Amino acid sequence: MAKPAGEQLVCVTGGGGFIGSSLVMELLQRGYTVRSTARNPEDRKNAHLHSLDGAQERLSLCRADVLDYTSLCFAFSSCDGVFHVAFPVSDNDPELMAVAIDGTKNVINAAADMGVQRVVFTSSYGAVHTNPNRNPDQVVDESCWSDLEFCLKIKNFYCYAKTVAEKTAMEEASRRGIHLLVVVPSLTLGEMLQPKLNLGIELLIVSYMKGKKAYPNTVSGYVDVQDVARAHVLVYEPPLRMDATSALAQWYTGRSLFK
């Protein structure tokens, strides 16, 4: 039987980011003790985490990098669960593919080696919809994946990396006996807890407000960041702890598409 939230220590990779910050807040509100990873815990961009309710008693920041396996082992030590949120947003980030493959492998294997049995992985709708052969009227489900060759053809390296990262997580989790749960949010908006504008919001919103010469003729799904954070916790917790709102994020070993 799973321990109650008040007796669990969980780790959030990239807890100072947009989704990560809301997830840390949600976990603290539910009584969890939270350890958040950061490349530099003393950086001012992480200061907002210390002002969250419950942070003084139940939040710690740990220096770790997903490309540094040893640092992840230290961060995951004694943890009951891991939420792997950290991922670069920019298509031009040179670490994008390394984080997608090596970083994901490091997280899953470090969790397994530290005795963690359950990992929640933050994927993206970008790992689902980028497929020219999918009918736009088709309802996407857990069987839908972005086409890797098409992603490379149109130079959408973010969607390529997210697809590869999720598949890597599934393969490694199966090999190591990790109970993997995947949340697949669409474009995520909402209140920012961190003081600095994050790159995702800047790319999605600010660039449009500043004006563009052309806009894509597409329809996108949007979801509030607090709902995404809540979905992560709901898929992590055993079914008996879930209430009526859990219909949006079912608990199972697989993918939860969240729009």
Q: How far is CA 7 from the centre of its chain?
A: 23
Contact 235, 227 (CB under 8 A): no
Of 151, 144, 148, give the one whose Cα is nearest residue 129.
Answer: 144
Of 81, 87, 84, 88, give the one whose Cα is nearest residue 34.
Answer: 81
Of 122, 73, 114, give the one whose Cα is nearest residue 229.
Answer: 122
Mind telling me the catalytic residues?
A: 162
Q: Tell me the pairing of strands 118-122 and 255-258.
A: unpaired
Q: Where are the beta strands (DSSP E) in 123-186?
A: 179-185
Rg (CA), the chain: 18
Name the β-bridge partners of 91: none
Counting beta carbons within 10 angstroms of the beta carbon of residue 187, is it exposed (0 to 12), middle (13 to 18) or buried (19 or more)?
A: middle
Q: How far is CA 17 from the centre of its chain?
A: 10
Contact 229, 245 (CB under 8 A): no
The Cα 172–Cα 29 span in angstroms is 31
Name the β-bridge partners of 118: 81, 179
Name the β-bridge partners of 206: none
The helices-and-strands tally (H runs, E runs) of the chain is 10, 9
